[in-house]
């Protein structure tokens, strides 16, 4: 399966200064820190989710880190319907235009997120009762936004999280009012509105066999309708204590066999206790705060830091094994301080799921990922 973007020709320009974890705590100048996007430039895009303040370059640490480390960005929230289309005849493109300008200035591609999602819908949509009005919103929303950014963004998460854990279609205003074919229709509208933009289906837990089967059926349905779908985003909201490497590898192979790009679009590895064994990213799942669920308020113990580094090393080793099938790996946030996992599924916790800490310093996990490239992977 041909990768859908041109691979860079990697010319080793000087060697990285590879440090083992024990020396990682020495203060280094920012120029000593290797670059993720450079290290993996012949393998796949390396991306991050950006919040409003980061897009507006109001976060100094991120303003330095993002252009150096990443060559792809996904808006964490500002292109979701409740933000970009708050009223029937009012769109708010200010922040999405800023994102496109920021990305162009920094030679970064934009994965726009997301056209159709059951969550974060504006109030006027949530109040709609009749099918005709839902269809009018659906058609206008996709066509207006996707056509505006055609050629400016690299790709769209056209539909996000349309499946239940057992692979059946998730109940939503779109399924209820537009029927089973709403996903195919969303891609059909996006294809017409944005002929120069790649179109993806994005979901969490679709590395799990049952939900993966549902996603495969959905993708085959889109393809059978003669509608374009260019890739699938496996979100990758996992936990260091259960990293489903076997399921991940099977998913890469099975999705790739459909002739589409495979991406890991929202990667983070939680290190905190999981209440009620919540797995995935269903934003409706919540749990009450208890101190025992928030054990690392004073910092992350070395043992957990090392486990996090090993987990990231293991999953990136698998990504590199299948780099011919994978077009992008996006972290769901620049630094630990930004992560949604500080507030999900329990509000008010301190999590450590990413490669950079809340002071934007690289963690041992960053060096374990970079070191894979020094081993000629
Ligand atoms: O912008 C408002 C602000 O004006 C208001 O004062 C504040 C307090 O209510 O809320 C702010 O909006 C919040 C928004 O993040 C921006 O910070 C929403 O309440 C909050 O629900 C929203 O959370 C986002 C979450 O999606 C819920 O939709 C997270 O940041 C974001 O990381 C998360 O991302 C999703 C992906 O889009 C899809 N996959 C799962 C992933 C994790 O849930």
Please state the φ and ψ torsions of residue 370, each to the nearest 5 degrees. -60, -40
SS (HEC) of 212-237: HHHHHHHHHHHHHCCCCCCEEEECCE
Q: Is 133 in the pocket of ligand 1 (CB under 6 A)?
A: no
Read off the pLDDT of residues 279-324 as tens digits, 9 standing for 90 and up.
Answer: 667 766 788 899 999 999 999 999 999 999 999 999 999 999 999 9
Class for the domain spanning 3-374: alpha beta
**pLDDT of 65 higher than 60:** yes
The C-alpha atoms of residue 348 and residue 289 are separated, in whole angstroms, by: 7
Ligand 1 closest atom vs CA 283: 43
Ligand 1 closest atom vs CA 333: 32
Model confidence band, residue 276 (pLDDT cutoffs 50, 70, 90): confident
Model confidence band, residue 28 (pLDDT cutoffs 50, 70, 90): low
Between the CA of 10 and the centroid of ligand 1 the distance, in Å, is 37
Q: Is 340 in the pocket of ligand 1 (CB under 6 A)?
A: yes
DSSP letters for 55-100? HTT--HHHHHHHHHH-SEEEESSTTSHHHH--BTTB---HHHHHHH
Please give the share of the chain, as a percent, with pLDDT higher than 90: 86
Ligand 1 closest atom vs CA 204: 39
Nearest CA, atom 12, ligand 1: 77
What positions carry a catalytic annotation? 266
Q: Is 281 in the pocket of ligand 1 (CB under 6 A)?
A: yes
* Domains in the chain: boundaries: 3-374
Q: Which residues have C-beta within 8 Å of that of residue 61, sequence separation ≥ 6?
A: 334, 335, 359, 360
């Amino acid at each position: 399966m041909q990768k859908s973007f041109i691979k860079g020709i990697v010319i080793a320009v000087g060697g990285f200064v590879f440090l083992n974890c024990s020396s990682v705590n020495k203060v280094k100048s920012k120029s000593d820190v290797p670059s993720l996007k450079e290290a993996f430039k012949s393998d796949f895009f390396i991306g991050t989710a950006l919040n409003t303040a980061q897009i507006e370059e109001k976060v100094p640490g991120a303003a330095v880190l993002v252009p150096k480390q990443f060559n792809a960005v996904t808006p964490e929230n500002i292109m979701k319907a409740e933000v970009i289309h708050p009223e029937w005849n009012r769109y708010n493109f200010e922040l999405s235009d800023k994102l496109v300008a920021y990305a162009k200035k920094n030679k970064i591609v934009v994965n726009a997120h997301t056209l159709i999602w059951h969550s974060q819908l504006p109030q006027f949509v949530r109040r709609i009762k009749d099918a005709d009005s839902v269809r009018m919103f659906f058609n206008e929303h996709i066509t207006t936004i996707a056509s505006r950014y055609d050629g400016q963004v690299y790709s769209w998460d056209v539909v996000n999280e349309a499946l239940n854990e057992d692979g059946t279609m998730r109940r939503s205003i779109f399924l209820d009012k537009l029927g089973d074919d709403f996903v195919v229709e969303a891609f059909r509208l996006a294809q017409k509105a944005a002929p120069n933009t790649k179109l993806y289906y994005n979901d969490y837990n679709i590395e799990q066999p049952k939900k993966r089967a549902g996603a495969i059926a959905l993708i085959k349905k889109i393809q059978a309708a003669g509608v374009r779908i260019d890739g699938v985003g496996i979100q990758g909201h996992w936990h260091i204590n259960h990293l489903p490497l076997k399921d991940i590898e099977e998913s890469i192979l099975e999705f790739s066999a459909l002739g589409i790009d495979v991406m890991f679009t929202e990667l983070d590895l939680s290190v905190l206790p999981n209440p009620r064994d919540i797995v995935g990213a269903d934003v409706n799942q919540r749990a009450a705060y208890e101190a025992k669920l928030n054990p690392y308020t004073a910092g992350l113990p070395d043992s957990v830091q090392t486990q996090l580094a090993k987990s990231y090393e293991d999953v990136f080793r698998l990504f590199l094994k299948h780099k011919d099938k994978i077009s992008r790996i996006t972290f769901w946030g620049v630094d630990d301080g930004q992560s949604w996992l500080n507030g999900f599924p329990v509000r008010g916790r301190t999590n450590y799921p990413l490669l950079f800490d809340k002071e934007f310093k690289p963690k041992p996990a960053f060096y374990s990922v970079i070191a894979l490239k020094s081993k000629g992977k």
